[in-house]
């Protein structure tokens, strides 16, 4: 894996990068703006950009021959260290480009993996990132041993011996490490599953969206927690879950990893355990950066990824964020075009209280009003029921405790099966 220098120490050389991309007729195109942000997040300084319109990539060198020559001149003129490509390249394309340009070539997946590796903090995210890196590297092992071809005094036949032997050794090492990582990930997943099961019966909301849509800022605005907020892509990799406030019924909010177009398949596969939080939610908040002129195509990317991880049956609500950045005319146009959605500014606080009330209303809709009665002698069941009595409805009548509660349907079913508890369903919240 390549690692682009991201240290701020003046003694560390900051890599000077050239960005290149091919625009095809069916491709969503942002003129390398997103790649520029990715490079900046990785710590590179973008000094040169080159694009080409083609029906498809050149199978050998990604760009056409003339553009490769133009790129070589740009590299010379701008003292470039690294070329970053806006697509995934085959090992052959990487090899041919590096041979033509005489410097390092990094494709989009390699760049994103490098950023993820930098931002991984917990054991789970570190395992997931390394797993994705090794799966990516395993398809490119031959590229790592092309230096044998240039060893002085080594011919073609002699080259194949050591090279093939080392190749097989590397494959075995990677295969062994992949098995080990998958085993570790299974252990972490079991722990995460137990943690999710401990939140059984609580209304769970997952905040998803394109990277840098403002998910962490919204999380901070809704919960008051000191969630880390950075103006960088993929600042959040680990799912962070917090109680929204002390009101009843409780609402648990989860901030998740951001999505992006051309998200590497290896990463999506590796992070499925983290994304399980989204799949098991009671409500998904699709956060949209309303100030992004291309928010429509970004939302299509989010929807495709959500569909691919299996969230079809989970209720969703679309929330437009950063409305404080919109001119009045564009704000009015957005409101008119998206009447059924919610509009907030997580930064300024506009619309946050209304959105918080909306989430509590959704949680109440999922709860069932019940009246319960349990004897004082059943201490364990008294304590178990009291954890749901956040509105202080409990009253002692003789030696029995009476409570009016809002319970998730799963908890209603559970308590109905307990002979020590008398439970009666209500039809309206107003009866309480």
Going by pLDDT thresholds of 50, 70 and 90, the confidence category of residue 101 is: very high
Greater model confidence, 344 or 257: 344
- Rounded average pLDDT over 259-275: 81
Torsion of CA 72, 78, 80, 83, to 10 degrees: -60
Q: What is the pTM of this model?
A: 0.76
What confidence score (pLDDT) does residue 164 get?
56
Alpha carbon distance 127, 270 (integer Å):
9
Cα–Cα distance between 84 and 64 in angstroms, integer? 16
Q: How confident is the model at residue 53 (pLDDT cuts 50, 70, 90)?
A: very high
Q: Model confidence over 79-90: pLDDT tens digits?
A: 999 999 999 999
Mean pLDDT of the region 34-55? 94
Query: E-assigned strands of 210-343?
Result: 240-243, 251-255, 283-289, 316-321, 342-343
Least confident of 14-23, 138-147, 152-161: 152-161
Average the pLDDT over 112-133 and give the result: 87
Task: State the angle between helix axes of 215-223 and 352-366 in degrees (0 to 180), rounded to the nearest 10.
Answer: 80
Cβ atoms of 90 and 108 closer than 8 Å: no
Confidence of residue 229 (pLDDT cuts 50, 70, 90): low
Q: What's the confidence (pLDDT) of residue 51?
A: 95
Residue-level pLDDT at 377: 93
Q: Rounded distance, CA 59 to CA 56, Å?
A: 8
The arithmetic mean of pLDDT across residues 370-375, rounded, is 92
In sequence order, what are the residues at sequence separation of 6 or more whose Cβ sits closer than 8 angstroms to the Cβ of residue 4? 15, 17, 39, 42, 43, 44, 82, 106, 111, 114
Bridge partners of 316? 284
Of 4-8, 149-153, 410-414, give the lowest mean pLDDT range: 149-153
Strands 203-209 and 104-106 come out as unpaired
Q: Where are the alpha helices (H) located in 199-317, listed in sequence order?
A: 215-223, 265-270, 272-279, 295-309
* Confidence category of residue 46, pLDDT binned at 50, 70, 90: very high
Q: Are strands 342-343 and 367-375 parallel, antiparallel or unpaired?
A: unpaired
Dihedral (C-alpha) 275, 303, 108, 33: value to the nearest 10 degrees?
A: -130
The fold of the 16-118 domain, in CATH, is: Rossmann fold (3.40.50)
Whether the predicted pLDDT of 166 surpasses 70? no
CB 32 within 8 A of CB 51: yes
Nearest Cα to Cα of residue 316 among 349, 278, 268: 278
Domain boundaries, the chain: 16-118, 120-194, 200-350, 367-431
Check the CA dihedral 33-34-36-37 and report its sign.
Answer: positive
pLDDT attached to residue 140: 72
- Confirm or reject CATH 3.30.910.20 for domain 200-350, answering yes or no: no
Q: CB of 171 within 8 A of CB of 197?
A: no
* Cα 165 to Cα 315: distance, rounded to the nearest angstrom: 53
Q: What is the predicted pLDDT for the residue at 271?
A: 80
Which DSSP state fits 322? Answer: -
Q: Are 16-118 and 200-350 in the same CATH fold?
A: yes
The tokens of 371 are what? 């009246």
Look at residues 254, 282, 432 and name the one whose alpha carbon lies nearest to residue 363: 282
**For 375-425, what is each residue's pLDDT tens digit?**
999 999 999 888 888 777 889 999 999 998 888 777 888 899 899 999 998
pLDDT band at residue 227 under the 50/70/90 scheme: low
- Cα distance between residue 252 and residue 246, in whole Å: 11
- For residues 122 and 280, give the distance between their C-alpha atoms in angstroms, rounded to a whole number: 21
């Amino acid at each position: 894996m390549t690692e682009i220098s991201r240290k701020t120490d003046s003694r560390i050389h900051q890599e000077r990068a050239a960005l290149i991309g091919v625009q095809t007729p069916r491709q969503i195109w942002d003129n390398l703006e997103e790649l520029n942000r990715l490079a900046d997040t990785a710590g590179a300084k973008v000094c040169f950009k080159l694009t080409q319109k083609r029906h498809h990539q050149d199978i050998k060198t990604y760009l056409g021959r003339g553009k490769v020559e133009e790129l070589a001149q740009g590299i010379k003129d701008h003292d470039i260290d690294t070329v970053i490509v806006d697509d995934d390249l085959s090992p052959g394309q990487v090899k041919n480009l590096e041979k033509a340009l005489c410097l390092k070539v990094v494709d989009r997946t390699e760049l994103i993996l490098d950023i993820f590796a930098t931002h991984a903090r917990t054991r789970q995210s570190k395992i997931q990132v390394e797993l994705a890196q090794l799966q990516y590297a395993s398809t490119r092992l031959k590229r790592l041993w092309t230096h044998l071809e240039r060893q002085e005094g080594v011919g073609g036949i002699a080259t194949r011996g050591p090279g093939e032997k080392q190749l097989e050794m590397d494959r075995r090492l990677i295969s062994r490490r992949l098995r080990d990582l998958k085993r570790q990930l299974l252990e972490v997943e079991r722990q995460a599953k137990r943690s999710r099961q401990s939140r059984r019966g609580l209304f769970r909301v997952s905040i998803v969206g394109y990277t840098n849509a403002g998910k962490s800022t919204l999380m901070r605005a809704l919960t008051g927690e000191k969630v880390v907020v950075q103006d960088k892509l993929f600042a959040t990799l680990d799912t962070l879950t917090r109680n929204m406030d002390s009101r009843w019924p409780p609402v648990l909010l989860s901030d998740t990893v951001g999505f992006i177009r051309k998200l590497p398949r290896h990463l999506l596969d590796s992070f499925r355990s983290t994304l399980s939080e989204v799949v098991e939610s009671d409500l998904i908040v699709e956060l949209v950066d309303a100030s992004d002129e291309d928010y429509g195509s970004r939302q299509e990317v989010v929807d495709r990824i959500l569909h691919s991880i299996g969230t079809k049956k989970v209720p969703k609500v679309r929330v437009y964020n950063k409305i404080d950045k919109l001119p009045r005319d564009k704000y009015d146009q957005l409101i008119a075009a998206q009447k059924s959605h919610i509009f907030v500014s997580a930064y300024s606080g506009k619309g946050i209280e209304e959105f918080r009330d909306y989430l509590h209303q959704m949680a109440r809709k999922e709860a069932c009003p019940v009246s319960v009665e349990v004897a004082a002698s059943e201490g364990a069941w008294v304590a178990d029921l009291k954890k749901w009595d956040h509105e202080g409805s409990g009253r002692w009548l003789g030696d029995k405790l009476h409570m009016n509660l809002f319970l998730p349907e799963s908890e209603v079913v559970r308590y109905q099966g307990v002979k020590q508890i008398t439970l009666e369903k209500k039809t309206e919240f107003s009866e309480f």
